[in-house]
Amino acid sequence: MSASLLVRGASLLGDTTADVRVVEGVIAEIGPGLDADGIEPGDVVDGDGLVLLPGLVDLHTHLRQPGREDAETVRTGSCAAAAGGYTAVLAMANTSPVTDTAEAAEHVFDLGRAAGLVDVQPVGAVTKGLAGEELAELGLMHRSRAGVQVFSDDGKCVADPRVMRRALEYVRAFGGVVSQHAQDPSLAGPSACCHEGELSGRLGLPGWPGIAEEVIVARDVMLARHTGSRVHVAHASTAGTVEVIRWAKAQAEKDGHWSVTAEVTPHHLLLTTDLLAGYDPTFKVNPPLRPQEDVEALREALADGTIDAVATDHAPHARHDKEHAFVDAAFGMLGLETALSVVASVMVETGRMTWADLARVMSSTPAAIAGLGEQGRGLEVGAPANLVLVDPSADVTVDRDASLSLSRNNPWHGRQFGAAVRATYLRGQPTFGA
Ligand SMILES: NC(=O)N[C@@H](CC(=O)O)C(=O)O
Ligand SMILES: [Zn+2]
Ligand SMILES: [Zn+2]
């Protein structure tokens, strides 16, 4: 397989039909009826009936390596990412050891390059050991070979406002961003595991109220404004969070010297808290699945740009951590392989967004937030050929046992979707399908 290919007759961003010629990993020509000179016959791809999008970029992936290679490795997670149409993923820092030094970040970066299926970009921890007290080596991680731009204690909230303020001040110097797992630890107590509401009462599960997210988001946007820095809201899950972000974006626009961005997960766009009625730990996740009103607000916010991006929060867990009584099971669910199908079904097939909008929220905007400029260039001549071919009229049923992830905590098992990834290319090299 060479890194040169010709994709014939696909609908670019779901719009115009054209051919795309890739030479040595770079988009060389876009137009109707391109000739196949110099392209091996096996490298001419029939795109008829398919939608061509730029490779997806995930701002929020847990790859588990180092430390929990029983749940996922950089290689298996990269395989799952490529199968989901991704060409870059940001690998969260809550590994063991934590990615809180330049060496740790370079290690994850190198594992990603060695796997070679997606660009693995490490996220650096905000605090040493995710303990929430002392800042990690933010500057050294940024200046390292890994070039860390995004910092997060994800899995834990940077709860101390003084620590958050200092982190924002620190990353401002080099244009970095702090991605916050917004969960006030005292409002959502230590055993909170389910949306606090009528259902949590009935099930007898400790509740995790939306306000525990919203107060942290409100605090953080004020800190970002005060410090003139950039804050990113990880996995936004409530209507109240959307309101705060909407207000904050309007202020940031007027002020001009700070910014807030936000992501939503595919599961928070479709699944609701009533799935917990069966006490199945597959549906246990942080933040918890919320009621339909929140889901509606998140969809609207994604469509109108209040929420900037979709991020998977792919969180693989080994059977022995997930198969427990609900209160004891680990938080998190798989997401890389199904994200495009879910977002297409909720947002595109319903007419809320176009394929071009989907490419914006799943590729160019997340690339911009993470400072991965080349990954965000999209379908233009001269851009790296990071491509995904999507079948918009597939009829697929998710099978957890067909997953390329090492884990099986798949909340989509048995669900049917109308769009599916057919092939993925990283700089012209096929990484899935094809
Ligand atoms: N989302 C989850 O439920 N779990 C994540 C951590 C996190 O994203 O907060 C994990 O690392 O398993
Ligand atoms: Zn989180
Ligand atoms: Zn996460």
Q: pLDDT tens digits, residue range 400-410? A: 999 999 999 99
For the chain, give the mean pLDDT: 97
3-state secondary structure labels for all residues of 44-92: EEECCCCEEEECEEEEEECCCCCCCCCCCCHHHHHHHHHHCCEEEEEEC
Distance CA 375, CA 355 (A): 18
Atom of ligand 1 nearest to the CA of 317: 12
Closest residue by Cα to atom 6, ligand 1, is: 155
Tell me, using a 6 A CB cutoff, whether residue 75 lines ligand 1.
no
* Residue 174, ligand 1, Cβ within 6 A: no
Q: Is the pLDDT score of 425 beyond 70?
A: yes
CA of 315 from ligand 1 middle (Å) equals 6
Q: Is 331 annotated as contributing to ligand binding?
A: yes
What is the Cα–Cα distance from 118 to 79, expressed in whole angstroms? 8
Rounded-to-integer distance, Cα 409 and Cα 412, Å: 9
181 labelled as ligand-binding? yes
Q: Is 399 within 8 Å of 58 (Cβ atoms)? A: no
Minimal-distance CA residue to ligand 1 atom 9: 155
Is the ipTM of this structure higher than 0.90?
yes
Ligand whose nearest atom lies closest to the CA of 268? 1
Q: How far apart are CA 235 and CA 288, in angstroms?
A: 10
313 catalytic, yes or no?
Answer: yes
| pLDDT tens digits along 230-278 | 999 999 999 999 999 999 999 999 999 999 999 999 999 999 999 999 9
Residue burial 301-323, b: 16+ Cβ < 10 Å; e: rest: bbbeebbbbbbbbbbbbbeebbe
In the chain, ranges of CATH 2.30.40.10 domains: 5-51+384-433
In the chain, CATH 3.20.20.140 covers 55-376
- Residue keyed to tokens 């940077």: 158
Pair 286, 329: CB distance under 8 Å: no
DSSP 391: E
Residue indicated by tokens 């997930």: 322
Q: Is 213 in the pocket of ligand 1 (CB under 6 A)?
A: no
- Sort strands 259-264 and 230-233 into parallel, antiparallel or unpaired: parallel
Measured from the Cα of 332, ligand 1's closest atom is 3
- Ligand 1 atom closest to 316 (CA): 12
Number of the ligand closest to the Cα of 95: 1
Closest C-alpha to 140, from 179, 174, 188: 174
Give 361-382 pLDDT, tens digit per residue: 999 999 999 999 899 999 999 9
Confirm or deny that 317 is annotated as ligand binding: yes
Return the pLDDT at 131: 98
User: Which of 100, 97, 95 minimizes the C-alpha distance to 74?
Assistant: 95
Q: Which two tokens stand for residue 61?
A: 């992936």
Amino acid, res. 182: A
Could you tell me which of 344, 383, 374, 349 has the C-alpha nearest to residue 361?
Answer: 344
What was the pLDDT predicted at 400? 97
* Residue 313 near ligand 1, beta carbon < 6 Å: yes
Say yes or no: CB of residue 332 within 6 Å of ligand 1: yes
- The tens digit of pLDDT for each residue in 141-163 reads 999 999 999 999 999 999 999 99
Does residue 131 sit in helix, strand or coil? Answer: coil
Q: Which pLDDT score is estimated for 294? A: 98
Q: Is the pLDDT score of 328 beyond 90? A: yes
CATH 3.40.50.1580, applies to 55-376: no
pLDDT at 2: 64
Is 408 annotated among the ligand-binding residues? no
Question: Domain 5-51+384-433 is in which class?
Answer: mainly beta
Question: Which pLDDT score is estimated for 434?
Answer: 73
Residue whose Cα lies nearest atom 7 of ligand 1: it is: 155
Cα separation values, 392 from 47, 267, 291, 354, Å? 12, 20, 29, 12
Nearest bound ligand to the CA of residue 60: 3
Residue 123 has pLDDT above 90, yes or no: yes
pLDDT in tens, 172-207: 999 999 999 999 999 999 999 999 999 999 999 999
- DSSP 8-state secondary structure symbol assigned to residue 18: E
The whole-number pLDDT of residue 49 equals 98
**Pocket flag, ligand 1, residue 64 (CB < 6 Å):** no
**Residue 313 annotated as part of some ligand binding site:** yes
What is the reported pLDDT for 162? 98
210 close to 195: Cβ distance less than 8 angstroms? yes
321 CB less than 6 Å from ligand 1? no
Is residue 1 over pLDDT 60?
Answer: no
Distance from CA of residue 125 to its chain's centroid? 17
